Amino acid sequence: MPFDSLPTPTLNEYLMISGLLFAIGLAGVIIRRNIIVIFMCLEMMLAAASLTLVAFSRFHTVDGLPDYDGQMLVFFVITVAAAEVAVGLAIIVSLYRARQTIQTDELTSLRG
């Protein structure tokens, strides 16, 4: 098998990747102005969290088998995220209908 020669990634490397992914997502949420992009960045943060869960599940063995609880939770996250996307996109559409824009710097009605 050609993959056998590749080194097996350690838990730290998984967590590093997931942290990077999460940081990129957070940065996107903070920096970007377009709500669609912000939404995509949020999804990226969810993915980062899911990756962490899978990694922990893989490396935490119970009786020689991976602990599948973490992976179960990932399925939940995916399901809930799908529902959330449906709701979120609907909100964005109605927001656009109301304001004719989805640029966050033009939506300032939260000013205190």
In the complex, the residues that contact another protein under the rule CB under 8 A are: 26, 29-33, 38, 104-105, 107-112
5 vs 109, beta carbon nearer another protein: 109
At residue 103, what are phi and psi to the nearest 5 degrees?
-85, 125
Question: Which DSSP symbol is given to 3?
Answer: G
Nearest distance from residue 22's CB to another protein, in Å? 10
What's the rounded Cα separation, in Å, for the pair 98 and 91? Answer: 10
Nearest distance from residue 34's CB to another protein, in Å? 11
27 vs 80, beta carbon nearer another protein: 27
5 vs 100, beta carbon nearer another protein: 100
Nearest distance from residue 29's CB to another protein, in Å? 5
Nearest distance from residue 19's CB to another protein, in Å? 11
Per residue, the 3-state secondary structure of 10-71, as one string, reads CHHHHHHHHHHHHHHHHHHHHHCCEHHHHHHHHHHHHHHHHHHHHHHHHHCEECCEECCHHH
